[in-house]
Structures are given as C-alpha cells and as structure tokens.
Amino acid sequence: MYDAIIIGGGVVGCAIARELSRYQLSVCLLERSEDVCTGTSKANSAIVHAGFDAHPGSQKARFNVEGSEMMEDLCRQLEVPYRRCGSLVVCFDPADHEQLQQLLERGLENGVQGLELLHGAVLHAMEPALAPEAAGALYAPTGAIVCPFTLTYALMENAKANGAEFRFDTEVRSLRRKDGGFQVETSAGILESRTVINAAGVWADVFHNQLSDYPIHITPRRGEYCLLDRKDGTLVSHTIFQLPGPMGKGVLVTPTVHGNLLIGPTAQDQPERDSAPTTAAGLAYAVDTARRSVPDLPMRDVITSFAGLRAHIDSGAEDFIVDETAPGFFEAAGIESPGLTSAPAIGRYLAAAVARHLQASEKESFQPCRSGIPVLHQLPLEQRQALMAADPAYGQIICRCEQISEGEILEAIRRGARSLDGVKRRVRAGMGRCQGGFCAPRVMEILARELGQEQTQLTKGGGQGRLLTGKTKEVQA
Amino acid sequence: MMRQVQLAVIGGGPAGLAAAIAARESGVEDILIIERDKELGGILNQCIHAGFGLHTFGEELTGPEYARRFIDRVEELHIPCQTDTMVLDLSPDRVLTVTSRARGLEQIQAGAVILAMGCRERPRGALNIPGTRPAGIWSAGTAQRLVNMEGLMPGKEVVILGSGDIGLIMARRMTLEGAHVRAVAEVLPYSGGLKRNIVQCLEDFDIPLLLSHTVVDIHGRERLEGVTLAQVDDQRRPIPGTEQYIPCDTLLLSVGLLPENELSAAAGVTLSGVTGGAVVDETLSTDHEGIFACGNVLHVHDLVDFVSQEAALAGRSAARYLQQGRHTGSAIRLEGKNGVRYTVPALLTGQSEEPVTVRFRVAQPYRSAAICVYADGTLLRRIPKRILAPGEMEQVTLRPQELPEGTQTVTFCIEEGTK
Amino acid sequence: MSQRTLTCIGCPMGCSLTVELSEGAVVSVTGNTCAMGDRYARKECTAPERTVTGTVAVRGGTAPVVSVRTAAPVPKDRVLEVAAALSAAAVQAPVAAGSVVLPDVAGTGVAVVATRSVCARN
C-alpha cells in the first residue's frame, strides 16, 4: 500500500512527485509510456509565462504567477536550462492598444511584476526583427524560456533521489475505492494506495469521471510548431506573442534555451488523444501568422516540425482543476497553457494538500538539488579536459550537429533513457540540423550495448515503435 | 605549447584523401588528416554499388574499392591520420579544436587547412512533410549505412521519396535484401538520377517511378503504417483529388544534400547562397588566408572522380600557399546566369597559366542547347549540348590566355535552340 | 517479328530505343542518337547482364557484413537468385579485399569477391 500514487509522468506529475518526496510518504508515479515526458510535456512552446493572460482569481492566474516566480530557483536547484528573455505581446493596429492596456491591468491584478507598455521606436529598438506594422507591445520582463524535457527529467530524478518510485509501461485502467484507500488496476497488475493524484494530461477526464460526482470532458487541442536551425536563434531576443484570441495565446516566435528559433502553436481541437500529426494547413497557418510578427523568418532553415496536444476541458470555465475533488483523490486536470509554467506551483500545492490529508510531516533528509548531465560543448576547455580525463567517452563525439559526446549519451542511458527519443530529449543527440541522420545508427549501437539488447529490439520512443525490422542476414553469425 | 601542423585536412573521405595525397606529392611534409568516423573513406564505405572511378582508373569500382586505392596511397606516403576524431571548431587564424576518445581535447595550429567535410542529407523537417512522427522514416543515406555496413534492415514495405541517385540505389539495395519497394516518388517532372540507375535500379525490378508526386501525409503512431502520395502541379503544390494511400512500414527520404559548412562558417569563410559551400578562386582558396575547400563541402558532386580531381587541386594549392605565401592581386569574377546556377570557382586571380576547370549545375533540363561563355559581354565560347540536366555537373575548361586583357566578369549561361 | 522499347543508359539523353526482333535476334535499332545506343540495345535484347553488388554475413569479424560484388556480370534474369545466395552465405573473418567469397554463385559460374576487408574480432 502506497501513501500516494500519481497517474501520469508529464511535467505536472513529476513536479507533484518531487514535492511529495519532501514528506515522509511512500510515493509511486505510474506512466503508461516507457519514459516520462512523452505527452504534452514533450511538445509545447517551452515558455515560462509571466502571468498576465489568465483571469484574476482563476487557478490559471494563481499557479501561473506562483510557478513563474518559483521557476528560476527551481531550475537553478535542478540544473535545468532557463533564460529570462522577457516577452512582448505585440499589436499591429493602434486601435488595439486598449487590449494591451487590459492585459496590463489584468497582469497587475494577478501580481505580475515589471509590466510595461512600449510604443514605436522604443519597441523596434528593443526587438529590431519585428514587423514595421508593430504598433505597440506589452513587455513582461519576467517572461522566460525553459527546457521542458530537462525540467521533467530533473523533477523525476530529484524525486527518485528522495525516495519516490516510478513505474513505466504501466497504464492505469481503473480506480476503485477500497478500505478507505484506492485500488488501482493497471496493465502491470493491481496496486493500492491511500491517495491518488490524477495528472494524466489529455486522459485526466477518464480518471476524474471514475471518482468524481460531476463529469468533465477533455478535448485535445493540437498545436503545431516549426523549429528552425540554431543559426537563427538570435533573430529575436524576446518571446513574441500576438494579442490572444478565443483559442489561446496565438502563434508566438521565440528563441529556445538551446538557441533555436521556435514558431507556433496553432490551436485545432481533435478527438484523437494518442496522436498529434502535423498538417500542411496547420504549418502554413503557423508560418503565415508568425510572419505578421517577424516578417523575415528564414523558413528554409526549418529543421523539424511537430505537434503537441493541450488538455482542454470543454466546460467553458477555461480553467484548471487543481484540487482534492473527492476525498483522498487529488487532481491536476485540464492543464493546458500555462501548464508548464504552473507545474512547480501545482506540485507544491497538491503535495501540501496530500500531506495534510495524510497528516504527513516533512523529512529532514530531503535533498532539493540535482546535478545535470554535463553539457560538454558549453563548458570551458579545462573542464572538458577534466571530464575526458575521468572518462574518455566524453572525448568521442556521436552527434555532430549538437556536438554531443558518447559520455553524455551513456549518462542519459544511466538515468533512464531506453529509446532513441529518450536519449534525444535528455541530451539532444539527434535534435540538430541533420535530425539524427548521422548519429542515429551510432546511438542505436550504444543503446543496444548498454541495455544488453539487440539493435533490432530498440524503439524510437517505446511501445511497438521498433526502429528496425530485423537483420539483413538471418545467417547465424 | 600548442600542437603545430603545416597542413590540416578536415575529413578523410574521397576529397580529403586526394587533397592530402596531392599536397604530399607537392612537397608538404607535415600533414594531418582528421576523420570523424572510425575509418577513412567517408561515404564511399557505404556506397557498395559499382560505378566509381571510370574517369580516374578506366574501370568501374565499388565505393570501398575506390576508397581503398586512395587509402593505400595515403599509407604508402605515410600521411598521418587521426580517425574517430571530431573537429569542434576552426578559428579564423586556423586553430583547430579537436576531440577524440584516444587523445581527449586538443588544439592544433595549422599553417593551412583544407576543408573536406562533405555534405549531409536534408531531413524530413526541411521539407515540412506533414503527418505523424513514427519510427520507420530514414534519410536514404542513413538507411544505406544501416543496410550495407551494420547489416540491419530498416523495413520491409518501402516507399522512397526522391529519385536522385541515392534514392534509386537504395530502391535496388532494399529489393535485393528482400524488401518490397512499392514506389519511388519524385516531386519534379524528371528524375535527377542517372538513366542507368533508373533502368537498373527501378525498371529491372518493376518498381514504379511516380514523377510529379510527393508525400503529403505520414500515418502511424509508433511505427509507420503508410503514406499518402499526391500528384503536384508545376508549382510543386499537391493537386487535390489525386491523393493515394500506400501502406508501408518504411519511408526513405532522398531529398537533397547540403554541404556541411559549420566549421567554414565558424572560421568566417564567405559562403555561397546557392551552393552552401565556400566562395573560392581557381586555386580553391576561400576568402580566408590559408583555408581551401574541395569536394562535397564546396558543392555537391555526382561523380567521385571529379571530387578527386578537384581535391588534388586543393592539395596542390595548399602546398603552393605554404611554400610561396598568399597571392594578392585583382580578380576576375565568374558568374552563372540564364540557367547556370553558380560556378566553382567564382573568382579568377591569375595565379597560374594553367587551364581552369569551371564546374556548375544547370537549373532545369535542356535539350539542344549550348553553354555560352562571355567575357564582359563578348562571346568567348559556345559549346553545343544535346542535353543538360540539373542532376549532372557540367564543366568547361577555361584557358586564362583566352580572356581579353582587362576582363572583369566572365559569364556562363545556357542558350536554347541551335544557331 | 516483335518490338521492344528501351531507355538507353549510355548518357543523360536517355534516348527511347525501338528494337525490332526476329526469333530473338535483333533486326534493327531505331531512336538512338549515337552508336552507344545501338550497342546497348543489341546487348540488352539478346543477353542482358548485370554486375550484382551486396553484402555477405561475416562470422567473428569487426563488422557484421562485408561488401561483395560478382567478379563478372551475371545474366540479368539470375540477379535475384544471386542476391538470395548472398543472403544465405556467410564467411569467416578475417576477409581480405579481393578475396573470393563464393567461387560459383547460384550456378552462374561467376565468383563473388569481397570489395573491402574485415578484420577478425579479437
């Protein structure tokens, strides 16, 4: 019997696990995939929102502002790439200044620091790539960018270091009350827990509806993105939004913490929860819309496009559900944007609520820090040499485009990567301009060797996604 | 004290090998070839099909056999090589930062540098093909390495996008290894591959070549389940109503090669917007003192024989630079117009009386046309051609003596029709 | 009399060749622009041949497969049989470039030789 079972290993589930690991509780996170960070957390804008969008008094407003305030320290503790680049919400028609003013007031009411309205020359001097039509902008200096993959992995690693357990390839099928706790039926057997925390992303409604007295329905809202080469990452220096619309915050143009340029997302509701395809129309819309903000986007430098799903609750309330919605059953449901920003605050809030419910106290041994995988190419020469002296594998480059060494890949595997995508998200091998053309066969060789598997067993990202169908020669070697 | 070499050759593929050999034969003693893979030979190691070396050796060799002849010569000449070694950075004053498992991180000051890093394949993302992102999508060259060197099979039911030679060659390779190649789709109305490859890689095995077709959707969540092909119009836009679904577990992409010039850019070398490679003069010198470029890093070739020829020139030029220093003087500009996309070299500096081989590609197929060369508007040469194709690199040999005194620009263009 | 059309592989022109055949013998070739087309059409219609390249499994080597080629062209209609024979064969490392891997592949009388060397795994 666990004290707490968390359903879902996205950034929110992992943040809850990490916060719960502060307490004297037995905690287990269940993830249906082979790894954490395989749903909404793997494909989003990678933005830390300042917090002026959400309606004052809403959970979105509260957790956004709190999460944004927590994020920098958290990223320092967990060694997660984070950069406070500031954000601009740009309008193109002087008549829209009023909307900017409303956003500013909302931001002030939500407690966002440092907001400022910018006009004309000041704006264009600050962000020269903006379209000449840009008439004004709301500047939020607390807007930031973060690596959502590293954040999720770091939260997991830190939670594990503090005693939390993670089970993969474990899909929750049903939740039942039993003896004052819960019986959790999974694809890997039955588990029991005193409390359950639902952080199941686009599937959260399924578990909500099994235990709650009011039903909800989640519709995945697909967002399509294009990622541009690292040589374009300095085209803009801020995250550039346009005025928000009814479907969300619209298409943004932003640098990423790794120096790429990201544009997107679109917002298209779809019934399918397991798959997020890009579409010709969606990508074209993203590019056309982004060009309103930044006309000179070098689209020939696109290295990949992708889509993610946001868990949108259909009720019309346009808010998160973050609460104890039934006795002992806690939820983080409908965590769409600004979910990544809110994750640390949601984790802290729900962990505290669970601890209160279980009357648990904090452990003295909690270790808040996690050291990251060394990013070789960012280190000074002497530090790189020291790493190579300790382990020559750091001298061997596997991914040419991102200059990722075998040492970094080995460390990713030691920390839980089991597939090509698991390695890629942890250390960026295959994330660069050739998209794994050169390094995929090398990474596969290392994965097979380290996991003690045949290369033919390896997957792209778990499940049935085998990379190969066999060997060319079935002759016994 | 920083390690010093006279000449650093970055890349141990066909270009780097030929450049190093020529430099040594021109008297450069202290050469280092730096290769990132575990063995010399570059992409030739995975090109196990025949068809290399007809121009150079008068016989048809496979890729590994062609490479071996150059590797043997490098060994005979005792030219030092470091394999499994990656150049991370090249500074404008020719300091290389290199890393390897064997030697760790080190910096090397080179008297001259030959860039011979080759090219990479354009990935799916560069085309923005919509759909899901399952396992089973490979660039053709990656699949070629898996099949020919690692003995691994990417899939059984295959669609290939792109009918350049790599795509065609892989259609045959997959077939001979027991896969079923359902179609090769080509967005252009013509194939960029050799006729011989169309006949011997596709027609021999009844593999359909769908011209003016592209992949408009990719299906399958974890593993590829199928692709949707559609016909395209002359603007390469898919034509609604022409979509057809083809079930397959593998999609190979052969959609273009890009010279790999990150190091050149780091050193501050000026790159051509057309080729993606360095802007060079007739000695294959970049605009950066002591830095030369050759092979696919300069512009993508279709025949390795020409890579070897070009690289040998770079090797000789680097030797002359090391022995005689930098040439300074005014330059004649070479330009491509009306169907000639670019020229290599782009500058003539008059450093030698030797004939200059000017290489270029045309923008579209032509029949019964002529390559014309003008010096400041005066026709110098008119070379009739029965056929010109973008997939085939053209070359014109220019004698510096034939240029009128004071020529500023030499223009290469295509003129259609017979005169 | 029968007729076959071929695409000439001699150069990028890719002339469309029409070959008149009588009882398997070439009567005439038309559509060619040069002599290469005539030669190609006659050979292709009477005794088409291909050099087959591929790989053969290696036992105990530093690489799992070695690249190979037929030492001479084989009849075109035997290509798939040759490929199947290559898939069924295996060779013990070390393998030297140029060494004979199969003396007579699929009964064609043609040898298969290695096009590169593979060292033995220590």
pLDDT confidence of residue A316: 83
pLDDT confidence of residue B76: 98
Torsional sign, CA A137, A143, A147, A148: negative
Residues of A in contact with B249 (CB under 8 A): 469
> A interface mutation test: which of B106, B133, B138 has the most A CBs within 10 A?
B133
Mean pLDDT for A367-374 is 97
- Classified as helix, coil or strand, B241 is coil
Q: Write the pLDDT tens digit of every residue in B333-387.
A: 999 999 999 999 999 998 878 899 999 999 999 989 999 999 999 999 999 998 8
Instruction: Determine contact: B84 vs chain A, CB below 8 A.
Output: yes
pLDDT confidence of residue C118: 97
From the list A49, A208, A238, A258, the catalytic residue is: A49
* Neighbour subunits, B (≥3 Cβ pairs < 8 A): A, C
pLDDT confidence of residue B40: 98
Under 8 Å between Cβ of B359 and B299 = yes
Q: Write the pLDDT tens digit of every residue in C1-18.
A: 889 999 888 877 788 899
What's the helix, strand, coil split of chain B in %, to 5?
25, 35, 40
B262 against B327, higher pLDDT: B262
- Classified as helix, coil or strand, B366 is strand
Query: To the nearest whole angstrom, how far is the Cα of C1 from the nearest Cα of chain B?
Result: 24
Considering the domain delimited by B123-255, tell me its CATH architecture: 3-Layer(bba) Sandwich (3.50)
Instruction: Choose among A3, A8, A11: nearest CA to A425.
Output: A11
Determine the topology of domain B3-120+258-325 in CATH. FAD/NAD(P)-binding domain (3.50.50)
> C interface mutation test: which of B176, B180, B203 has the most C CBs within 10 A?
B176
Residues in contact with B122: Cβ distance below 8 Å, sequence separation at least 6, in sequence order: B139, B253, B255, B256, B257, B258
Residues of B in contact with A468 (CB under 8 A): 146, 152-155
Query: To the nearest whole angstrom, how far is the Cα of C90 from the nearest Cα of chain A?
Result: 7
Under 8 Å between Cβ of A68 and A110 = no
How far apart are alpha carbons B13 and B67 in whole angstroms? 8
CB nearest to A477's CB, from C55, C59, C87 = C59
Mean pLDDT for B173-186 is 98
Is pLDDT of A357 > 60? yes
Determine the topology of domain C53-114 in CATH. CPE0013-like fold (3.10.530)
In SS3 terms, chain A reads as CEEEEEECCCHHHHHHHHHHCCECCCEEEECCCCCCCCCHHHCCCCEECCCCCCCCCCHHHHHHHHHHHHHHHHHHHHCCCEECCCEEEEECCHHHHHHHHHHHHHHHHHCCCCCEEEEHHHHHHHCCCCCCCCCEEEEECCCEEECHHHHHHHHHHHHHHCCCEEECCCCEEEEEEECCEEEEEECCEEEEEEEEEECCHHHHHHHHHHHCCCCCCEEEEEEEEEEECHHHCCCCCCEEEECCECCECCCEEEECCCCCEEEECCCEECCCCCCCCECHHHHHHHHHHHHHHCCCCCHHHEEEEEEEEEEEECCCCCCCEEEEEECCEEEEECCCCCHHHHHHHHHHHHHHHHHHHHCCCECCCCCCCCCCCCCHHHCCHHHHHHHHHHCHHHHCEEECCCCEEHHHHHHHHHCCCCCHHHHHHHHCCCCCCCCCCCCHHHHHHHHHHHHCCCHHHCECCCCCCECCCEECCCCCC
Mean pLDDT for C8-32 is 88
Under 8 Å between Cβ of B67 and B42 = yes
Backbone angles phi, psi at A214, to 5 degrees: -125, 130
* Burial class, C2, CB count within 10 angstroms (exposed 0-12 / middle 13-18 / buried 19+): exposed
How far apart are alpha carbons A344 and A362 in whole angstroms? 18
Pick the CATH number of A2-41+149-217+317-358 from 3.40.50.11270, 3.50.50.60, 3.20.20.120, 3.30.565.10: 3.50.50.60
Q: Write the pLDDT tens digit of every residue in A16-74.
A: 999 999 999 999 999 999 999 999 999 999 999 999 999 999 999 999 999 999 999 99
CB nearest to A400's CB, from B36, B105, B152 = B36
Say what percent of chain A tops pLDDT 90. 94
DSSP secondary structure, B288-341, as one string: STTEEE-GGGTS--S-HHHHHHHHHHHHHHHHHHHHH-------EEEEE-TTB-
How far apart are alpha carbons A334 and A54 in whole angstroms? 14
DSSP secondary structure, B148-173, as one string: HTS-EE--SEEEEE--SHHHHHHHHH
Domain coordinates of chain A in residue numbers?
Answer: 2-41+149-217+317-358, 82-145+219-309, 376-457
How far apart are alpha carbons A275 and A307 in whole angstroms? 9
CB nearest to B195's CB, from C14, C33, C87 = C14
What are the residues of chain C with a beta carbon less than 8 Å away from any beta carbon of chain A? 55-60, 64-65, 87-90
Residues in contact with B247: Cβ distance below 8 Å, sequence separation at least 6, in sequence order: B157, B225, B226
Residues of A in contact with B238 (CB under 8 A): 280
Instruction: Choose among B132, B127, B221, B131: nearest CA to A279.
Output: B131
In SS3 terms, A280-346 reads as HHHHHHHHHHHHHHCCCCCHHHEEEEEEEEEEEECCCCCCCEEEEEECCEEEEECCCCCHHHHHHHH
Backbone angles phi, psi at B243, to 5 degrees: -65, 140
Q: CATH 3.50.50.60: which residues of chain B?
A: 3-120+258-325, 123-255
Instruction: Determine contact: B80 vs chain A, CB below 8 A.
Output: no
Residues of B in contact with A377 (CB under 8 A): 88
Query: To the nearest whole angstrom, how far is the Cα of C48 from the nearest Cα of chain A?
Result: 27
Class of domain A82-145+219-309: alpha beta
- What residue type is C71 in one-letter code? A
pLDDT confidence of residue A343: 98
Q: Is CATH 1.20.120 what the domain over B329-419 is classified as, yes or no?
A: no
Average pLDDT, chain B: 95
> C interface mutation test: which of B69, B175, B199, B209 has the most C CBs within 10 A?
B199
Is B126 in contact with A303 (Cβ distance < 8 A)?
Answer: yes
Is B222 in contact with A381 (Cβ distance < 8 A)?
Answer: no
Q: How confident is the model at residue A203 (pLDDT cuts 50, 70, 90)?
A: very high
Active site residue A238: no
Q: Write the pLDDT tens digit of every residue in A225-277.
A: 999 999 999 999 999 999 987 777 789 999 999 999 999 999 999 999 999 99
Mean pLDDT for C65-72 is 98
Mean pLDDT for B34-38 is 96
Instruction: Determine contact: B128 vs chain A, CB below 8 A.
Output: yes
Is B130 in contact with A434 (Cβ distance < 8 A)?
Answer: no
Residues of C in contact with A472 (CB under 8 A): 55, 65, 87
* Neighbour subunits, A (≥3 Cβ pairs < 8 A): B, C
The CATH number that domain A376-457 falls under is: 1.10.10.1100
Q: How confident is the model at residue A476 (pLDDT cuts 50, 70, 90)?
A: low
Query: To the nearest whole angstrom, how far is the Cα of B236 from the nearest Cα of chain C?
Result: 23
Size of interface A-B (CB pairs under 8 A): 148
- What residue type is A412 in one-letter code? A
Q: How confident is the model at residue B128 (pLDDT cuts 50, 70, 90)?
A: confident
Residues of B in contact with C65 (CB under 8 A): 148-151
Under 8 Å between Cβ of A332 and A116 = no
Is C64 in contact with A477 (Cβ distance < 8 A)?
Answer: yes
pLDDT confidence of residue B418: 55
Kindly list the distances between the CA atom of residue C115 and the CA atoms of A159, B45, B197, B306, C68, in Å, as whole numbers in the listed order: 54, 10, 20, 22, 5
Mean pLDDT for C40-45 is 93
Kindly list the distances between the CA atom of residue B108 and the CA atoms of A87, A92, A384, B35, in Å, as whole numbers in the listed order: 42, 52, 16, 15
Backbone angles phi, psi at A224, to 5 degrees: -105, 145
| Nearest chain A residue (CA) to B35 | A397
How far apart are alpha carbons B125 and A320 in whole angstroms? 34
Size of interface A-C (CB pairs under 8 A): 24
Residue A39, token pair as written in the block: 């749903």
Is pLDDT of B84 > 60? yes
Is B204 in contact with C57 (Cβ distance < 8 A)?
Answer: no
Q: CATH 2.60.40: which residues of chain B?
A: 329-419
Query: To the nearest whole angstrom, how far is the Cα of C3 from the nearest Cα of chain B?
Result: 18
Mean pLDDT for C95-117 is 97
| Nearest chain A residue (CA) to B86 | A397
pLDDT confidence of residue B353: 81
CA angle B413, B416, B418 (to 5 degrees): 120
Is A395 in contact with B135 (Cβ distance < 8 A)?
Answer: no
pLDDT confidence of residue B182: 98
Whether ipTM exceeds 0.85? yes
Average pLDDT, chain A: 96
CB nearest to B132's CB, from A275, A280, A403 = A275
CB nearest to A435's CB, from B123, B128, B262 = B123
pLDDT confidence of residue A121: 92
CB nearest to A472's CB, from B84, B123, B151 = B151
